[in-house]
Structure 1
């Protein structure tokens, strides 16, 4: 029976692409199999850039069918994670609550957390519809976890979100261990794989708290579950593949060491390439510019021009185009895309500092006046400040003085915050070009006859970024000297205290590259345990966690 259901769903998957509907006919009645098929069609409409049609297909039944409810909320969650706008997040949250209510109506009445395993072990008579309801309910709760992350990067939000979604995690664990749920393998693998992968990314101090209330995360197991789910030809196969792609690109870059497996990511998506629209293809093959930073622009521009319905996809492309120009130090073009985004205001203004006087005049803006306005323009999501903008406000305070002190290579500093040096470092010519810019700033600071109170901080920033370039160029001894120079200046730093723990982390990675894993662990652990309350602390702790995990099992000592 399960094979027949899967076959019909897969045929629907093909039909939705081969016979594009001008108007998708709504079903006059809704049984479970029809619901799965319509949800599959809606998913494929999304992949083909037909977002309104997907919502129209799901809307008539989303309060009466668990799969329609799940699909409808998933699209709104996708929209919220693209915009980061408060109203979209609130709308998605409200929809998820309604979807949970819909799914709850189909669950077994006495199927509650903690009793599910016992029910299965006693061979309770769960009907097929009730089994599906458990999986759909768990996936809706997983969406709540996603929005919790989008709302706030602060570590405490992970704990709050974790407590809220423990039900979902427990359902997936019970499903995984139950023979009764084997026909729902695709959904179980997506859920248990995503949870294990997500939890494995959390810093140890948070993970210990979550383990206390029953969570655990195994990255290897999570990845294996998602790989199996991606190859299962089920309703959720493409979602497993996209989750792996997202992990191997954005997540590994922003929250890890930038060592994602891009070959695997593209191989997993290969079976779906002919069925993904021109709009979404650049976002799957090039979800991150690691996939081809200097060849991706044309594809992003094609993505923008191919549809006008979802501006959120345009914003993703603007974001990537901003960075591709930044990596090549094309500051005026990078400013253009930052201005189009208008999301993190700091990105718009930091490019002013990198442009020539002639380019600045063309913008018609007063940079000093703009920076004085920064603190008042700070945005909040769900009552929380965005960490990047907190960082920007701290930087802008030097413009409140009677004699403002310009920032030093701020675009390169922000590039580092977003782990961009990991990308640029893959090309020696681009890294050399960045090094020239950094050494020019270094010389200007060195020749300053009237240093300000910000001079030690600026000098340490320049040395840390210089060390990064040298490390990627293989000049490891010179890189080490730059990093140790920053550390020796710790007592002189007045404002940018984040430079010390970040430099300790980078020096640890340098020793890892040299093969001295003991020394690497010592420096990274120092950054982890001996510093707190600095800018971008959460971001560094995610990277530290990833780095220490990569050191586990490595040979001890210097080879």
Structure 2
């Protein structure tokens, strides 16, 4: 996965497409041998499935014809850089340099401005989430608020990346904490504190709903492993929510 992301940086799309097309077979053999896929492996498998599906929709591929990935189609279907997505999921945006964050911001804004609705597809919510976190780290809280809300409103029920919405709700709570640190107004602090709590509660409820839904599905499936890979991200998000609650309590004491 990391090698492929580096190829993206060099725009060697043909080599990247070839590498991506080999991954599903490798992971399939691992499953047949009784191995359990790691979260990043499930992530890669799902990304490739998503991109192949987008290619089929964009190119109106007929059933039975080639529906894989090549360099040209990869350029069109990969709207969200997979490395950026992984950096976010591993909570690494705070470690990025301002120059990198600015580059991400400009790239995503350009994609939103130039790509068609069909080309963006179900990636819209994720684009706004990454954009919102980027501009928040750059210190523009009002713009971050707008983009994060847009991410939540843009949820696509057909998207397999259902992790985006609870993370968007969490990021709204985190944004309130950033704003709390920038004000000395008591009433504004109380308002932001209450809003942050509400956003965290919404995120936790969303996680609980997803967990119950997934558990119900597993009872009717023969495959017991997590096919979406979301359980790992959800567990990490739950920990982040708990840490944020503790941070809020510090604000309340002060």
Quick one: distance in 1 between partners of 2:138 and 2:112?
18
Out of 20, 26, 46, the position equivalent to 1:394 is 46
Question: Counterpart of 1:537?
Answer: 234
Change (3 A) 1:392 1:504: same
Quick one: distance in 1 between partners of 2:239 and 2:24?
27
Give the gaps of 5 or more residues in structure 1: 1-345
Establish whether residue 554 from structure 1 lines up as the match of residue 226 from structure 2. Answer: no
- 2:173/2:200 contact within 8 Å kept: yes
Quick one: distance in 1 between partners of 2:37 and 2:236?
15
Deviation of residue 522 (structure 1)? 1.3
- 1:508/1:521 contact within 8 Å kept: yes
Please show how residues 488-507 of structure 1 align to structure 2 within 5 Å: 488-492=153-157, 494-507=159-172
Question: Counterpart of 1:338?
Answer: none
Query: Could you list the per-position Cα deviations for residues 20-68 of structure 1 after superposition, in whole angstroms to 9, with x for gaps in the alignment?
Result: xxxxxxxxxxxxxxxxxxxxxxxxxxxxxxxxxxxxxxxxxxxxxxxxx
Change (3 A) 1:492 1:481: farther
Where 1:486 maps in the other structure, the secondary structure is helix
Where 1:554 maps in the other structure, the secondary structure is helix
Establish whether residue 478 from structure 1 lines up as the match of residue 146 from structure 2. Answer: no
Deviation of residue 488 (structure 1)? 0.9
Question: Counterpart of 1:414?
Answer: 86
Question: Counterpart of 1:517?
Answer: 193
Question: Counterpart of 2:108?
Answer: 438
Deviation of residue 399 (structure 1)? 2.4
Where 1:552 maps in the other structure, the secondary structure is helix
Deviation of residue 431 (structure 1)? 2.2
Residue correspondences, number: 199
Please show how residues 85-484 of structure 1 align to structure 2 within 5 Å: 346-356=1-11, 360=12, 366-378=15-27, 383-397=35-49, 398-399=51-52, 401=56, 402=67, 404=69, 406-408=77-79, 409-424=81-96, 427-445=97-115, 448=116, 451-452=118-119, 455-484=120-149
Quick one: distance in 1 between partners of 2:44 and 2:38?
10
Change (3 A) 1:483 1:350: same
Q: Which has the higher contact order (CA 8 A, sep 6+)?
A: 2
Query: Could you list the per-position Cα deviations for residues 469-490 of structure 1 after superposition, in whole angstroms to 9, with x for gaps in the alignment?
Result: 1111211111000011111122
Quick one: distance in 2 between partners of 1:549 and 1:377?
42
Where 2:251 maps in the other structure, the secondary structure is coil
Quick one: distance in 2 between partners of 1:396 and 1:418?
20
Deviation of residue 523 (structure 1)? 0.8
- 1:354/1:411 contact within 8 Å kept: no
Aligned-pair Cα RMSD in Å: 2.8
Where 2:77 maps in the other structure, the secondary structure is coil
Runs of 4+ in 1 over 4 A off after TM superposition: none
Change (3 A) 1:403 1:440: farther
Give the gaps of 5 or more residues in structure 2: 57-66, 70-75, 181-191, 212-227
Quick one: distance in 2 between partners of 1:456 and 1:406?
9
Quick one: distance in 2 between partners of 1:549 and 1:473?
24
Where 1:373 maps in the other structure, the secondary structure is helix
Change (3 A) 1:415 1:373: same
Deviation of residue 383 (structure 1)? 4.0
Normalised by the size of structure 1, how large is the TM-score? 0.33
Quick one: distance in 2 between partners of 1:460 and 1:353?
22
Change (3 A) 1:441 1:551: same
Structure with larger Rg: 1
Quick one: distance in 1 between partners of 2:128 and 2:158?
13
- 1:371/1:399 contact within 8 Å kept: no
